[in-house]
Amino acid sequence: MASRDNLKFGYSEFWRKNISAVESQELVKVLYALRKVGRHIATNLKPIEWRTSSAHNPLLIGIDINLAKGEYPLPPGKMDILVGVTAREAFHCKILSDIVYMNVEKQVGEISKDYKYLLDLLISIGEDFFTKNIAKDTVWKYYLSRCWPHVRPPFKSKTDKPTIHAFLHIFADYLFFDKLAVNMNPAYHDLFQICLDARDAIKNLINESSISKKSFLRTNIYLNLWNEILQKAELWTDEDSLADATGLAEESFYGDDEDSCDDPAMDMESEENADARRFTERENQGIMQKVNDILEEMDEKSINQEVADAAGEEEQWRIMDTAYGRATLPCRITADEALVARLKKIFRVQRSHRSRRYFYNRAQLLGKIDGRRLHRYPLDGKIFKKKEYLSHDNTRNIAILVDGSASMTGGLPGGGKEWAKTESIFLSLFEAVKGTGNRLDLLCYYERAGICEVNALVYGNRLYTVRPGGRTPTGQAIIATATMMPKNKKRLIVHLTDGEPNCGLSVQKSLEFCDREGVDIVTIGTYFEEKTRELLENQYHDRAILIDSIELLPVQLEAVLRANLL
């Protein structure tokens, strides 16, 4: 559909309508569109931001702002390229590419900077090929095909002798552009066949169901292929095999540099290029400042800012970053049919309590004549009344917030009996609430790497789960949940935990926040020692229901729902 040479046409012209002719406004709208693309592909997506330099930040997806500069509104063909770049990065998140890089480098050990660059190039080619194959039956294949020339620009070798770097680019051209080098160096022939076998092995991984197993198998493929390349390269001259590897990270961003020479004219041209780069950097920084100002005005207050406001100055030191996410492990536990039946009964009673009555709205210009307002005829003519209905909607926005810290495993690694029983209650409530008019959010929280992670367990009408681990940042999780819940109905948080918080903001601050926001909260706490019971009572006061066994959790959950819904 979209030609590489003509950026005026592209697939995105059929769906992208929110555009602007103002540069900063258009870049903001493009960024929002790219974030939607990423969220549609991967649930474990990194933050997507504009990138103004070649520096790589592993914690986010940086989209080169230079790809979007020039004409506004953005031409559809150029938007296709940006969508393709974003889709590529989102698929890398989905297939756990970062873990593959980390595992390969861990097993290879210490290597030189040049070999490190070549190893990363090999892995990126493999990960891009795997991405190309898993997207071949989706709409994203059209956008990915447009991004490959920008992700992998044309390569010109600086020597005719065989090098690892030149070979990897020749193989990449074959994989992504179906282009085979004419008169390929005979030294590459055997290695090319080995890479073709590795290509087939990567392609066959699509049949595997486990994402983690796929990443493990790709790690082994890259390690074996790297060893084969090094063995073949030993037959080449060591110096030549790395002759054109150094400095290519910078060249890939700024373009190919000419070979250095003693010509003063060439030196002057190089200085002019450097000045142009510095000017571009300053220009990009100015654009980014405008974009960030618009984003601050458009974005809602972030959850971290909500937590900071709730903490007050005296507890700022306790705050950790908070992140929303989605669980990715499908829940395999079956629902408790007896519990589902009892919960459905509660919701049926709730529905029966919804009343609909009517009243008369008097002093209207139209309607039925109201004898009690005839005296107003010479004044304003409002002598009519209308019969209107008033419905009492007692449905709620309910959030079940579950402690997913390591203690919830019940003492067993990877999830024990306690967690399995809790999952069964999730599923039972999930099944019972369908069709009742109530909104149900199931959320799980825990601490990982100094971050309070709050994961949604229900989306796409399916239930997911997590593996408990980490510490217990209860206070911040409660604020995050209250902030996320829609405000169109009364809000109720049912918090399930088995112990006291041990990191993050205090529970007291979170309860004060809920009081200010009008959010009802009830904590069902499981305790195994009297000391734990006392701590829970001191923290939650009259908002806590304490039980000494997880077996009593369904009964107490029913009691909480009855008290708050009926």
Give the residue-averaged pLDDT of 289-307: 71
- The edge-to-edge listing of strands for the beta sheet with 368-369 is 356-364, 384-391, 368-369
Banded model confidence at residue 277, pLDDT cuts 50, 70, 90: low
Whether residues 516 and 437 share a domain: the answer is yes
Q: How many domains does the chain have?
A: 4
Please report the pLDDT score of residue 314 as a whole number: 66
Banded model confidence at residue 364, pLDDT cuts 50, 70, 90: confident
Whether residues 61 and 110 share a domain: the answer is no
Dist CA 383 CA 261 (whole Å) = 97
Above 90 in pLDDT, residue 416?
Answer: no
Please report the pLDDT score of residue 2 as a whole number: 45
Please report the pLDDT score of residue 248 as a whole number: 44
Whether residues 398 and 514 share a domain: the answer is yes
3 in any annotated domain: no
Banded model confidence at residue 249, pLDDT cuts 50, 70, 90: very low
Higher pLDDT, 262 or 19: 19
Higher pLDDT, 253 or 489: 489
Whether residues 129 and 162 share a domain: the answer is yes
Whether residues 384 and 425 share a domain: the answer is no
288 in any annotated domain: no
pLDDT digits (tens, 9 = 90+) for 72-121: 999 999 999 999 999 999 999 999 999 999 999 999 988 888 889 999 99
311 in any annotated domain: no
346 in any annotated domain: no
Give the residue-averaged pLDDT of 292-299: 70
Residue 457: which CATH number?
Answer: 3.40.50.410
Beta strands in 460-510 (DSSP E): 462-465, 491-497
Banded model confidence at residue 237, pLDDT cuts 50, 70, 90: low
Please report the pLDDT score of residue 274 as a whole number: 64
Whether residues 255 and 195 share a domain: the answer is yes
219-223, 265-269, 312-316, 374-378: which is most confident = 219-223
pLDDT digits (tens, 9 = 90+) for 502-513: 788 888 888 888
Q: The whole model's pTM is what?
A: 0.60
- The structure tokens listed for 79 are 């938007």
Higher pLDDT, 149 or 277: 149
- The structure tokens listed for 88 are 């590529």
Helices (H), 234-324: 238-241, 248-254, 264-298, 303-311
Above 50 in pLDDT, residue 214?
Answer: yes
Whether residues 58 and 109 share a domain: the answer is no
293 in any annotated domain: no
Whether residues 108 and 77 share a domain: the answer is no
CA 472-476-480 angle, 5° bins = 125
Whether residues 404 and 540 share a domain: the answer is yes
Dist CA 18 CA 36 (whole Å) = 13
Beta carbons of 440 and 433 less than 8 angstroms apart: yes
pLDDT digits (tens, 9 = 90+) for 3-43: 445 788 899 999 988 888 998 889 989 998 998 898 888 87
Whether residues 384 and 476 share a domain: the answer is no
383 in any annotated domain: yes
Please report the pLDDT score of residue 361 as a whole number: 82
Higher pLDDT, 352 or 137: 137
Whether residues 86 and 234 share a domain: the answer is no
Beta carbons of 306 and 483 less than 8 angstroms apart: yes
* Cis peptide preceding 73, ω within 30 of 0: yes
289 in any annotated domain: no
CA 318-323-328 angle, 5° bins = 135
pLDDT digits (tens, 9 = 90+) for 509-534: 888 888 888 888 888 877 667 777 78
Residue type, 455: N
Whether residues 117 and 181 share a domain: the answer is yes
Give the residue-averaged pLDDT of 326-352: 82
Bridge partner list, 385:
362, 368
Higher pLDDT, 227 or 292: 227
Average pLDDT, the chain: 81
pLDDT digits (tens, 9 = 90+) for 418-458: 678 788 887 888 888 888 888 888 899 988 777 888 888 88
3 state DSSP class of 317: helix
Please report the pLDDT score of residue 256 as a whole number: 42
Give the residue-averaged pLDDT of 342-349: 84
Question: Range of 183's domain?
Answer: 97-267
Beta carbons of 304 and 483 less than 8 angstroms apart: no
Q: Of 250, 267, 284, which one is at a domain's C-terminal end?
A: 267
Beta carbons of 420 and 333 less than 8 angstroms apart: yes
Above 60 in pLDDT, residue 239?
Answer: no
310 in any annotated domain: no
Per cent of the chain over pLDDT 90 is 20
